[in-house]
Amino acid sequence: MDLLELIVRVLLSYFILLLLTRMIGRKEISEMSFINFVSAITIGSIASHLVVNPHSSIRNGIAALTGWALLTILTEFISLKSKKTRRLIEGEPFILIKNGMVMEKTLRKARMDINTFNSLLRKHDIFSITDVEYAIFEIDGTLSVMKKKFKEAVTKDDLKIKKTAKNIFPIATEIISDGKVNKRNLTALQLDINWLKHQLEQAGVTSISDVFYAEIQQDGSLYVDTWDDQI
């Protein structure tokens, strides 16, 4: 491949990519769905192959780029017209917290563990699951969160009532995850397994293995979520 041919390939790929991206739509560069993500990777791969491979036909490369773009547009058009097709291609959002309770089965479907989930919540400035009423894992991989409305806190702030109770711990801390005790956190908080079992009994839980997730709140209370998704 000589220099002139390389320049022609680069210019053709560049302007064709711009044109096809405009045809596919702005969604390609903003909130990507699964089909958009696959399309972006494939079109980029075809374009790079067209530029650097001297044995690649320019005509075939342009045809491949155009064909893939048209296929993407057709798929999105069908998805807009058919809810079933859209669900099949893009999937559905996952409700990970419903009415303040973790949906652990749905969490598994989303292929997410509780630590990753807590990490996503912290990006929303939420450091305790108890602050969340609903959490939805969107099809583009983002997390939408609706916080609980704390009536007592709002009433105290409105009436300017001074707090008498002090926080015992600096932050809500995980104690049980996937039915297993986090002994390191328990020791760091100067608590023992007997205290934990007593708290679980008060919450109506007879076995640690029945607990999907539990965390100690700042005020010393224990939040418990069992494996049962029923509300």
pLDDT in tens, the chain (231 residues): 667 777 877 787 777 777 776 666 555 444 566 677 777 788 888 888 888 887 778 888 888 888 888 888 888 788 778 777 777 777 788 999 988 889 988 998 888 888 899 999 999 889 888 899 999 998 878 899 998 876 334 444 454 555 555 667 778 889 998 889 999 888 888 889 999 999 999 888 989 999 999 999 888 888 898 887 654
pTM > 0.85: yes or no? no
C-alpha dihedral, 53 to 58 to 60 to 63, nearest 10°: 120
Of 95, 179, 202, 81, which Cα lies nearest the Cα of 138? Answer: 95
CATH of domain 94-147: 3.30.240.20
CB 74, CB 23: distance < 8 Å: no
Of 60, 64, 82, which Cα lies nearest the Cα of 72? Answer: 64
Kindly list the domain boundaries of the chain, sorted by start residue: 3-89, 94-147, 164-226
Distance between CA atoms of residues 21 and 23, nearest Å: 5
For residue 121, report the phi and psi dihedrals to the nearest 5 degrees. -65, -40
- 3.30.240.20, 3.40.720.10, 3.40.1110.10, 3.40.50.170: which CATH number matches 164-226? 3.30.240.20
Left (φ > 0), alpha (ψ -120 to 50) or beta: where does 141 sit? left
